[in-house]
């Protein structure tokens, strides 16, 4: 992996960790949540600057299923993250507390909704690059030889993660947060950090695994038709 690609990967991984930390503000507290949000904004800007050439190629080339999905996901992530950042200013209690805003409940609901949409879109984005990530990890660890046992074990783990993630989605009532309904309903301020991370990792796993295997299926179907 060349240095530029490695740097991009580090940026993306760091953004994922920052997203987790930002969403866990009932554990970290408001001040840390807002500081993490500002740092996430910086990394988001850096991420877009590193990938600025992508925007110039949107109108060029052919549009197959994968490319259309990629453009849609990237634009949705851009919109959702922009909405998260803009809505965070009026509801700030620490960094931007000097800005007087009335009816901040509306901005809070927008902030919650777009945060969770951004979380899901980010997982789909990771799922689209999962094959590349796995191949990079194999090269870094020296594991390049195929293994049927390893493949079966990883697929069984993926099924477990998806099942657990679906259950977690219902238990945490994540669907309501996607549509601005009762944003406080299922928040647990006594929750442990490990439980929060594990639950949200499995929720991410739904969309990572779903996207990865859906694209593999489409690719196989495309090869059969050629």
CA distances from 166 to 4, 199, 218 (A): 36, 10, 23
Given a cut of 60, whether residue 183 has pLDDT beyond it is no
Residue 226, token pair as written in the block: 């050629």
What pLDDT, in 10s, does the model give residues 67-108? Answer: 888 889 989 999 999 999 999 988 888 888 887 776 678 888
Closest by Cα among 48, 54, 66 to 128: 66
State the Cα torsion 172-176-181-183 to the nearest 10°.
Answer: 30
pLDDT bracket for residue 188 (50, 70, 90): low
The rounded Cα 115 to chain-centroid distance in angstroms is: 10
Residue 98 dihedral angles phi and psi, to the nearest 5°: -75, -10
CA geometry: angle 12, 18, 23, nearest 5 deg: 130
The end-to-end CA distance of the chain, in Å, is 31
pLDDT of res. 27? 84
Q: Each residue of 132-171: pLDDT tens digit? A: 888 877 777 777 777 888 889 988 999 999 999 999 999 8
Q: Are 91 and 111 in contact (CB under 8 A)?
A: yes
User: Percentage of the chain with pLDDT > 70?
Assistant: 93
Rg of the chain, C-alpha, whole Å: 19
Query: What sign does the dihedral 172-191-24-182 (CA atoms) show?
Result: positive
Tell me the per-residue pLDDT of 39-71, one tens digit each, with 9 for 90 and over: 999 998 998 888 888 888 887 877 888 888 888
Query: Does residue 3 carry a pLDDT above 60?
Result: yes
Query: Residue 180 above 90 pLDDT?
Result: no
Q: What is the pTM of this model?
A: 0.85
Angle, CA of 199, 113 and 171, to the nearest 5°: 30
Question: Which pLDDT does position 221 carry in this prediction?
Answer: 83
């Amino acid at each position: 992996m060349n240095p530029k690609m490695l740097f991009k990967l580090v940026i993306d991984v760091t953004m994922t960790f920052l997203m987790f930390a930002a969403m866990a503000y009932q554990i970290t507290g408001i001040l840390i949540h807002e500081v993490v949000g500002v740092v996430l904004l910086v990394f988001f800007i850096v991420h877009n600057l590193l990938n600025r050439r992508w925007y110039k190629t949107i109108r060029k080339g052919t549009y197959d299923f994968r490319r259309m999905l990629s453009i849609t996901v990237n634009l949705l992530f851009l919109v959702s993250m922009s909405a998260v950042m803009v809505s965070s200013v009026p509801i700030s209690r620490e960094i931007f507390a000097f800005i007087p805003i009335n009816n901040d409940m509306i901005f809070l609901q927008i902030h919650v909704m777009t945060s969770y949409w951004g979380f899901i879109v980010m997982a789909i984005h990771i799922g689209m690059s999962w094959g590349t990530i796995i191949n990079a990890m194999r090269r870094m660890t020296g594991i390049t030889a195929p293994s049927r046992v390893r493949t079966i074990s990883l697929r069984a783990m993926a099924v477990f993660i998806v099942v657990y993630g679906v259950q977690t989605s219902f238990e945490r009532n994540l669907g309501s947060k996607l549509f601005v309904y009762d944003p406080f309903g299922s928040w647990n301020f006594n929750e442990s950090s490990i439980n929060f991370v594990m639950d949200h990792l499995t929720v991410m796993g739904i969309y990572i695994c779903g996207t990865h295997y859906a694209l593999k299926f489409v690719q196989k179907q495309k090869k059969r038709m050629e």
